[in-house]
Amino acid sequence: MLRDIILIIAVFILLGVFVAQPVVVEGTSMLPELHDGERLLVNKLVYYKFKSVSWGHLERGDIVVFWYPKEPDKSYVKRVIGLPGEMVEVRDGKVFINGTELTEDYLDAEHNQALPSFQPKRVDEHFYFVMGDNRDNSSDSRYWGLVPEKYIYGKAFFRYWNPSNVGFLTHGKYNISEEVKIDDVRADSEE
């Protein structure tokens, strides 16, 4: 009996260390999708870059949790907008990827009224361009730059708290195909 309890505890610890991790949303930068204080489960398998499965790598529209590049002891939750090799530009509040406007149906007018413009930015290899869904109140790649791939430690996939919003998170549907190959980019960088 004691051996079974120890085995169960060990399995849960291993799952928490290598597979999934709970995260608390702090702030309002991801409104209306995520609210302050909500609890998420984060898929940590993206860190290990399993090429053969869709949940094992990052795609445009994924909500990711990462170490903030300017203060790596803080973690942020944002949506992946620009992939390695792409040119990202924000004109009058609209995002353009390689010159094509990105359709972002998950945004709402209430949280996106400022409509600023930013200089085009090429996304370097092993980096991502991320933005909050609440563009009027989001500290993101527009202001402090790209997120190194190695700082991304998980992809949020399930909201387990607030009880009224329990369920899987929505992934954006886009009008732009992903031209970036699903290669093991991290493994290439470590060679």
Identify which of 66, 34, 7 has the alpha carbon closest to the alpha carbon of residue 158: 34
β-strand partners of 100? 97
Model confidence at 179: pLDDT above 60: no
Ranked by mean pLDDT, the top range of 105-114, 137-146, 173-182 is 137-146
Model confidence at 190: pLDDT above 60: no
Question: 72 preceded by cis ω (within 30°)?
Answer: no
Per-residue model confidence as pLDDT tens digits over 21-46: 889 999 999 999 999 999 999 988 77
Any idea how long the chain is? 191
Mean pLDDT of 50-71: 83
52: Cα within 13 Å, side-chain hemisphere:
0
DSSP for 45-80? Answer: GGGGT-TTSGGGS--TT-EEEEE-TTSTTSEEEEEE
What is the residue-averaged pLDDT of the chain? Answer: 86
Q: Fill in the amino acid letter for 63.
A: I
Alpha helices per DSSP H over the chain? 2-18, 141-144, 185-189
* Of the candidate ranges 51-65, 105-119, 121-135, 146-160, the one whose mean pLDDT is the lowest: 51-65
Task: Give the pLDDT band of residue 187 (cuts 50, 70, 90).
Answer: very low
Structural domains present in the chain: 2-189 (2.10.109.10)
Joined together, the tokens standing for residue 119 give 């200089």
Q: Note the pLDDT of residue 15.
A: 64
Ranked by mean pLDDT, the top range of 2-11, 53-62, 146-155 is 146-155
Per-residue model confidence as pLDDT tens digits over 79-128: 999 999 999 999 999 999 999 999 999 999 999 998 899 999 999 999 99
Would you please indicate which residues are annotated as catalytic (active-site) residues? 29, 78
